[in-house]
Amino acid sequence: MAISGAGLKRNGETIEFPPELVSFVDEWKVKPGSLIMILHKTQETFGYISRAAAEKLAVLTGIPLARIYGVITFYHFFKTTKPGKHKISVCLGTACYLKGGQDLIEETRNLLGLAPDGVTEDGLFSVDPVRCVGCCGLAPVMVVGADTYGKLTKDMLPEIIAKYRT
């Protein structure tokens, strides 16, 4: 593992942190309890937190890698694998769960041939449960990118997925 400039090289893989992210980390690393904010910004930048990104954060912040991974793996929000181009989030808040949210997750994964935390072979889709999207009156709810779909049934899923295949 070698560090040069803003990049970290690990097993031939180089990760470059954009200047905005480096600046954010530099500003926040001195504040107590800032790790979660730094991880949120890192995931916002890359879509997930790769091993190389976690190692780079350890170097930039002085926080042990084990502690960084402890936080990443404790909170379900943080992802260590690259999500699909179209991230499908199915709400499992109380209203959505009671109206079949879990069934929607299972059916969506079935339609896409995905295991939990999987990504389709073409890299287009990943499916994740989320705790609440704040649309309880539309339960059950699914979000694909910036698009929200409410009052869903399993028969609506193939048509929604087809919209994102093109």
**Model pLDDT for residues 124-141, shown as the tens digit of each residue:** 999 999 989 999 999 999
The SS3 call for residue 75 is coil
Split at pLDDT 50, 70, 90, the class of 7 is: low
**For all residues of the chain together, what is the average pLDDT?**
91
Q: How far apart are CA 128 and CA 161, in angstroms?
A: 14
Arithmetic mean of pLDDT, 51-73: 96
Q: What percent of the chain has pLDDT over 70?
A: 92
Arithmetic mean of pLDDT, 140-157: 96
| Domain boundaries defined on the chain | 2-74, 86-165
Scored b (16 or more CB within 10 A) or e, 18-37 reads eeebeebbeebbeeeeebee
Element (H, E) at 58: helix 51-61
Neighbours of 100 (CB within 10 A): 17
Q: What percent of the chain has pLDDT over 90?
A: 80
CATH superfamily entry for domain 86-165 = Glutaredoxin (3.40.30.10)
Cβ-contact 84, 120 below 8 angstroms: yes
Neighbours of 155 (CB within 10 A): 8
Residue 70 reports pLDDT greater than 60: yes
Split at pLDDT 50, 70, 90, the class of 1 is: very low
pLDDT number for residue 129: 93
Structure tokens at 114: 């995905």
Angle ∠(63,80,87) on CA atoms, nearest 5: 135
pLDDT number for residue 35: 96
The string of pLDDT tens digits covering residues 14-39 is: 789 999 999 999 999 999 989 999 99
**CA–centroid distance for 76 within its chain:** 9
